[in-house]
Amino acid sequence: MSKTEKKPLLQVENLSIGFSQYMKGTQKRVIQPIADMNVEINEGEIVAVVGASGSGKSLLAHAVLGILPSNAICSGSVVYKGEELTEKRKRQLRGREISFIPQSVNYLDPLMRVGAQVQIGLDKKTAHKQQEKLFAQYDLKSSDGHLFPYELSGGMLRRVLFATSVREGVRLVIADEPTPGIHPEALSEILKQLKQFAKDGAGVMLITHDMMSALQIADRVAVIKEGATVEISEAVAFQGTGERLKTEYTKRLWRALPQNDFDLEFKGRDLNI
């Protein structure tokens, strides 16, 4: 739905990521969770990244941001605004032009009040006001800002995490599962904000399991399986029985939703164990 002409913002090509592990003593081995990942995001476009758990969706996000653990071995090319995204550039851009909403609520500082965490990186003079505004927008009470992360529920923490990503001058938003555990009203507010990012010309990578929500706002959907991109389809192809989807895996993923034929996956196994 990008009104502007398609200008690629982020191009990930043949990305592969491995981890070297120590087995015993100095014996090493390398595991390769991501083998052949390809994703392209244009300016003003929302690309949903879906796929099995453990297929490497979060790793893709971490690779683009340059926050993989130190034993990771990365190859392939990541191009941002037509230029290779080097580790140094990643450091300069992340938290500024590239904003990240992490998957785990563990990423919040457990010893810092959540209001103060949202104010990080905002203009000091208006930070407090801005934070209160964001809280109101995501259906959080202003008194919630004085609480510590452990005092908030899972869904509330998600919304706090989301509020930390809303900054001026953001060009690329990488949202890793921003929606689980959030009730429908707050969810639609978050989707609206992601849509707004795109309207303002930013690219959005929305990593999610929540296909129904993602399809409401996404332009295209990339399907990841076992560390490789198996399909990139227009979001409109996800409807009915999925006859417009290209691969068998994507069709199964679509049909397994509780809204569709959840039961198809139910096999009559003997579970007397």
Q: Print the SS3 string covering the chain.
A: CCCCCCCEEEEEEEEEEEEEEECCCCCEEEEEEEEEEEEEEECCCEEEEEECCCCCHHHHHHHHHCCCCCCEEEEEEEEECCEECCHHHHHHHECCCEEEECCCHHHCCCCCCHHHHHHCCCCCCCHHHHHHHHHHHCCCCHHHHHCCHHHCCHHHHHHHHHHCCCCCCCCEEEEECCCCCCCHHHHHHHHHHHHHHHHCCCEEEEECCCHHHHHHHCCEEEEEECCEEEEEEEHHHCCCCCCCCCCHHHHHHHHCCCCCCHHHHCCCCCCCC
Give min distance, CB of 140 to another protein, in A.
8
Give the residue with the Cβ less far from another protein, 39 or 182: 182
Quickly tell me which residue has 């809204």 as its tokens. Answer: 259
CA distance 90 to 85: 6
Give the residue with the Cβ less far from another protein, 80 or 254: 254
Give the residue with the Cβ less far from another protein, 93 or 156: 156
Give the residue with the Cβ less far from another protein, 173 or 186: 186
Residues near another protein (CB under 8 A) are 19, 21, 50-55, 58, 69, 103-106, 151-156, 158-159, 177, 180-184, 186, 209, 211, 252-254, 256-259, 262-267, 269, 271-273
Give the residue with the Cβ less far from another protein, 50 or 206: 50
Give the residue with the Cβ less far from another protein, 26 or 106: 106
Give the residue with the Cβ less far from another protein, 39 or 198: 39
Give min distance, CB of 59 to another protein, in A.
9
Give min distance, CB of 143 to another protein, in A.
9
Q: Please compute Rg for the chain using Cα positions.
A: 20
Give min distance, CB of 248 to another protein, in A.
12
Give min distance, CB of 235 to another protein, in A.
16
Give min distance, CB of 56 to another protein, in A.
8
Please name the amino acid found at residue 43.
E
Give min distance, CB of 67 to another protein, in A.
13
Angle at 76 between CA 73 and CA 79, to 5 degrees: 120
Largest CA distance in the chain: 64
